[in-house]
Structure 1
Amino acid sequence: MIRPKRQRRPEDRPDEILDAALAVFTEQGFAAARVDDIAKRAGLSKGAVYLYFPSKDAMLNALVEQSAGLVAQSAERMVAASAPDDPEQAFRAVLRMVLTVLSDPEVSAAPRLVLSEAPRFPELAAYYRTHVIDIGQRAFRALFAAGIARGTFRAVDPDAAMRTLMGPVIAHMLLTTVFNRPGDPDHDPGVMADALADIVLNGLKPRPGDAS
C-alpha cells in the first residue's frame, strides 16, 4: 500500500528554515555556512529557502528577533507595566525573566553566535544593536528613572547601572552554555537573579546623608 506523502504546511517552513540555519551556523560558523547546506538540512530546495529569506544575514537577524529580541521586548513591557508602581519588584522580575530565558541554550544560541561573529560582520552587530541592545537600554533607563523618581533608587548614571547589571547577565549566559563543564553546579536562574538583584540594589538604594 502506497501511503501519501505528508504535506508540509507552507506556514511551517520559515521556522524549519531557521532551525536548520541555526544548526548550520552553530556547526560551521556564520562565514563558512552555505545556503545550500541550510536548504539540505531543512529538506528544501535552495530556491525555496530564498522565497522566505533573501540571505544568510536575514536568517540570523530573524533568529535574533525570535530570541534576544523577544527578551528585550518583554523586558520593556514589564518595565512599562510595573516599574512606576514598584521599581524594585519590577527590577527583580525583569532580571529573573532575562536570566531564566537566557539559561536555555536553544534561546541563547543566536545571541551567542552574534557575539562571536559581530567583529567580522558589522552589519550583524548593527542589527543586534538596534533590535536588542537599544530596546534593553531603553527599558532599563525607564526602570532606573522610575526608581529614582520614587526615591527607591538613589540618583545614579543609568548607563553605568545598566552595564553593571548586564555584565553578570552575559556572564551567566556564557557560564551555563559555552563554558559549562560536566560536574558544574546547577544554578537556578531565579535564585541567581535574586542574588544579583540584592547585590545591585544595595548599590542603588538611598544611603544615609544622600540628598533626597
Structure 2
Amino acid sequence: LRCGYVEEADAWRVWLLRAIAGRPEDHQIMYGLAGERRLPEITLDWLPGYEGSRPVRTGNEAAGQFQLDVYGQVVNALYQARKQGMPPDDYTWSLLVKGAAFLEHNWDRPDQGLWEVRGRRRHFVHSKIMAWLAMDRMTRGAAELGRTGPFDRWRAVRDRIHAEVCDKGYDPQRNTFTQSYGSRELDAALLQIPIVGFLPPDDPRVIGTVEAIERELMTDGFVLRYPLAE
C-alpha cells in the first residue's frame, strides 16, 4: 500500500478473507494459491533435490499445525491496511471479532510456533506476543472505528498475555527473552518485540535480547532463526 499498489493489496485482502472464512478454530497457517485447504505432504524419493538436499516434498504438513501467531498476523495486516487508507467493512470486522473470541479462550495453549516445528508443542514466546498483538489491535481498531465489542475483555486478555510473557518468557539472569517458556534457547522472531510495540526499543529487556541474539545467533552478518543442533 505504501508503494501505491492499492488494487493488489485489496485483491489480497479479498483472497485472505475468503480463505479464512468459517470458524476461527479451522483457520490454517497456509492455503493454496486458490485458497485450497488440503495440502497433503508427499515425499518425492526419486528426486535428488538442489545439490542433494533431500527430501524433496510437495505440499506441507504444517498446514495442519496449530500456530497462534497467524491470528495476530491476520488482525495486524488488516489493521495496517485500514491505517494505510483501505476502507473498513462490516464483514471484515465480524470475522475479526470471531477470531478475537477464539483467542480469548485459546491464547494460553502451546503451539508449533512460527518455525513450524515438528516436535511437541510448546509455549513459544513469539506466538504469545502475536496473540497479544491481535488483542491490542482489536482494542485499538474498535476505538478508532467506533465499533462495538467486548473492549474490557479484550484489554484484560491483552494485559494478561503481556504479564505472562514478561514473567515466563524472560530470563532475568541473562537479560533476554527466550524462545519458549522455561527454555534457554533464543529465537530471531523475538526481534519482533519492539517492532509490534510489545515493549519499547529502549527497554533494557529488549536491548538485552538484541545483544543476546547478536552474540548467539549472528553468523557472518546473517541471523539464524534459532540455534542449530550440534
TM-score, length basis structure 1: 0.32
Return the structure number with greater helix share.
Answer: 1
Return the structure number with greater strand share.
Answer: 2
Query: Which is bigger in relative contact order (C-alpha 8 A, separation at least 6)?
Result: 1
Rg bigger for which structure? 1
TM-score, length basis structure 2: 0.30
